[in-house]
Homo-oligomer: A and B are copies of this chain.
Amino acid sequence: MAVNHSVFDVKKCSKDMYALLKKLYPLTRSITGNGVRKTLDIIKEHIPITINEFTTGTKVFDWNIPKEWNVRDAYIKDPHGNKVVDFKKLNLHVVNYSVPVHKKLPLEELKKHLHTLPEHPQWTPYITSYYKEYWGFCLPHDQYKQLKPGDYEVLVDSSLEKGKLSYGEIFLQGHSREEILFSCYICHPSLCNDSLSGVVLLTFMAKFLKETKLRYSYRFLFIPETIGAIAWLSRNEKQAFKIKYGLISTCVGDEGCFTYKKTRSGNAELDRVVERVLIDAKAPFKTMDFNPANGSDERQFSSPGFNLAVGSLMRTPYGNYPEYHTSADNLDFISGTHLAESLEKYLEIAFTLESNRVYRNLNPKCEPRLGKRGFYRNLSSSDISLKESAVFWILNLSDGSSSLLDISFRSGIHFRVIKEVSDALVIAGLLRLKK
C-alpha cells in the first residue's frame, strides 16, 4: 500500500470532510435510536458499511442491550407559557435517555432536574443517564439564574422501549488475516470534536483504503461507545484475536497538536509506528500512557480477557479542552483543514504499518560497491546525502533482526526515505525481504 501524496488533495478532502460533519451534526444521536440509524445511512452514502443490530435485552458479557430511546420533542415553558428551553433548537438541552414526562412543577422542584456549567455560564452541558431512569434538562447557567419562581411546564416526549441497538461495520480484506481495527463512536448528539470528528475521519479513511491493495486486513467500526464495543466483542469473541492493532478515532478536528494515547503495554509496534509518523511530521506532539479509568473503547478492547493493542490518536484529548461535552464543541470549534491533516496522519500510520518489514542484506560481508550501482557519489568532495546515508544504515542493520522502523529510529532518518531506499536496494539486488 502506498498513499500517493499527489493524489491526496488536502483542500478537497478538507471541504468534503467538513461537509459530512456538518450534515451529521444536527442529528439526535444516542447509544440507540433513530438518530444512530440516520447517521449510519449517511455514512453508507460514502462507503458500503454493513448495518447490524442487537435486540434490547440481549446479554453481552456482563451487560444487557438497553431499551431503545427516541425523543420527538422536549421543552420547558415558564409560568407565562414561553418556551425557555427547547430541544428542537439544540438536542443537548435534554438529558440523553430522559424518560417521558409531562407536568407542571414549581421552580424549586424543577431545579433538581436542571444541569448547568457555572464556570462557562453561556454553554449548555451534555449529560447522559443511560442506566438509571431519569429525566432532566441542560441549559446555560446565565439563563438558569434568571428563571423566576412559579410553576413551569416540562415536556419530554420520548420513548424508552424494547428495540434495537444499531452499528455499522466495513471490512477490507488484505493479503494477511491479521487485522488493523479502526473504531469510532456514533452515540453523541450535537458535538463535533468529540465523537463526530472521528466518525468523519474513518469514513474517509475507509474510502481511501478500499481502493488500495493491502497487506493487512482492515476493519472499521461505527458503534455506540462502551455498550457498542462490548456488544461487538461479545458477537465476535472468537475472531477478535485476529486484531493485531487498533486505533480509536476521536477529537481529531480541533487545532491542538496531536496526542497519542498508547496501547496497554505501551511498547507495541503500533506505538512506535505512531510515534515515528508524528516525529517525521516535524511538529510538536504529545503522548499519554494507557489509562483504563479515562478513555474510550480501548478500555473494552484492552480489557484483560482480550488484551488487544489498541491506542488512540487524537488532537486535544477529551477532557483537556473546556468545550468538551458542551454546546461549545460545535461547528466553529473544528475545521476541515484539521480534519484533513488528521486523516493524513492516519493514512501515514497505515502506510507505515504496511511497509514495516524486515529485510536481509544479500551482500553482508563488508559494504558492496555502491558507486557503480549509482547509490553513492564518485568524488569525495560533496557531503553525504540523506539517501546515501539511508543506504548505509539499511545495509548495516538488515541482518534479519531489525525492521525498517527500527532502522528509521536508530538512524533518525524519515521512515518514508528508509522505505524508498529499501525498495531501490531490493531492485538493485542488494536486499531481500526476509521470509
In the bound complex, CA of A112 to CA of B368 (Å): 29
Q: State whether A367 touches B129 (Cβ < 8 A).
A: no
Q: State whether A131 touches B371 (Cβ < 8 A).
A: yes
* Chain B residues with CB under 8 A of A125: 381
Q: Does A395 contact B (CB under 8 A)?
A: yes
Q: State whether B303 touches A379 (Cβ < 8 A).
A: no
Q: State whether B233 touches A303 (Cβ < 8 A).
A: no
Q: State whether A366 touches B115 (Cβ < 8 A).
A: no
Q: State whether A300 touches B366 (Cβ < 8 A).
A: yes
Q: Does A364 contact B (CB under 8 A)?
A: yes
A132 and B378 in contact, given A299-B396, A369-B63 (Cβ under 8 angstroms): yes
In the bound complex, CA of A351 to CA of B352 (Å): 48
Chain B nearest CB, measured from A224 CB (Å): 14
The secondary structure that dominates the A interface is loop
Contact of A367 (CB < 8 Å), options: B128, B299, B392, B398 = B299
* 8 Å CB interface, A297-326 against B: 299-300, 302-307, 325
Q: State whether A384 touches B303 (Cβ < 8 A).
A: no
Q: State whether B132 touches A384 (Cβ < 8 A).
A: no
Q: Does A62 contact B (CB under 8 A)?
A: yes
CB nearest to A125 among chain B residues: B381
Contact of A363 (CB < 8 Å), options: B62, B237, B371, B389 = B62
A62 and B368 in contact, given A380-B128, A381-B125, A393-B293 (Cβ under 8 angstroms): yes
Q: State whether B303 touches A381 (Cβ < 8 A).
A: no
Q: State whether B364 touches A395 (Cβ < 8 A).
A: no
In the bound complex, CA of A411 to CA of B264 (Å): 12
In the bound complex, CA of A134 to CA of B380 (Å): 12
In the bound complex, CA of A391 to CA of B63 (Å): 17
A61 and B230 in contact, given A292-B396, A303-B396, A380-B128 (Cβ under 8 angstroms): no
Q: Does A341 contact B (CB under 8 A)?
A: no
Closest 6 CB pairs of A and B: A305-B364, A305-B365, A292-B396, A304-B399, A132-B378, A293-B392
Can you list 18 A-B contacts with CB-CB less than 8 angstroms, sorted by A residue number? A61-B368, A62-B363, A62-B366, A62-B369, A63-B369, A115-B381, A128-B379, A129-B380, A134-B379, A230-B367, A234-B366, A292-B393, A293-B390, A303-B361, A303-B366, A304-B361, A304-B364, A305-B361
Further contacts, 15 of them, CB under 8 A, given A303-B395, A304-B399: A62-B363, A62-B366, A62-B369, A63-B366, A125-B381, A131-B372, A131-B378, A229-B366, A293-B389, A294-B384, A299-B392, A302-B396, A304-B395, A305-B366, A325-B380
Please give the residue numbers on chain A whose beta carbons come within 8 Å of chain B beta carbons, in ascending order. 61-63, 115, 125-129, 131-132, 134, 226, 229-230, 233-234, 237, 264, 292-294, 299-300, 302-307, 325, 361, 363-369, 371-372, 378-381, 384, 388-393, 395-399, 411
